[in-house]
Structure 1
């Protein structure tokens, strides 16, 4: 499964979770995903409690998540917690701390610890 498929599954999981929809109803953000070792970029957009995802670059990004492709795939598939690669410096997240925490909570609610 490639990152685009993984993000599609992640978005479906989020959009079918009532708790996340309520939590994110006022959270409008653009998230750019950058794989350090791949030429293609991906994005996630949150608006009115719903997420969308796709391939390409976004303007006006609120968060940038940067890591090797395998780590992005692991984190967004639920195979890996973001904590270990983040603490090791292999996963970089740039943006407002509240948004970083919100993204972490989303992955925790979808995939658990």
Structure 2
């Protein structure tokens, strides 16, 4: 499964999850997933409690998004549910950049989607 396919699958699962929808209600943000080894970059827009379609995004520095960065293989495993993002973050394999409020929302969604 490719990273794009994993992101689409994640987007679909998140949009079917009522708890994720409640967490994301009233939250508008761009979630950007960036591969540090291949320079691939994908964007999922969060709006009105839903995650939009996954799109390839050109690299633009400091555009106010919530950025998740890691190796493509790791990101693929995370978004298809095979690897817990907290484990990757604690091991220094996953980087997350953005406003504190956005990171808290992302943490809450991670707990719902992957568990503690």
* Shared fold, TM over 0.5: yes
Question: Relative to 1, partners in 2 of residues 1:57 and 1:31: Cα closer, same or farther, differing over 3 Å?
Answer: farther
Q: Deviations over 1:35-85 (max 9, x none)?
A: 011132111110001102221237633211110011111211111111222
Which residue, 74, 95, 112 being the options, matches 1:92?
95
Q: Does 1:67 pair with 2:86?
A: no
Distance (whole Å) between structure 1 residues aligned to residue 4 and residue 71 of structure 2: 15
* Aligned pairs for 1:1-113 within 5 A: 1-52=1-52, 53-57=54-58, 60-113=63-116
When the two structures are superposed, what TM-score results if normalisation uses the length of structure 2?
0.86
Structure 1, unaligned runs of 5 or more: none
* SS of residue matched to 1:107: helix
Structure 2 distance, partners of 1:107, 1:21, is: 13
Q: Give the deviation of 1:91 after TM superposition.
A: 0.7
SS at match of 1:57: coil
Shift of 1:31: 1.5
Q: What's the C-alpha RMSD, in Å, of the aligned pairs?
A: 1.7
| Pairs aligned (count) | 113
- Structure 2 distance, partners of 1:72, 1:61, is 21
Name the SS of the counterpart of 1:44 in structure 2. strand
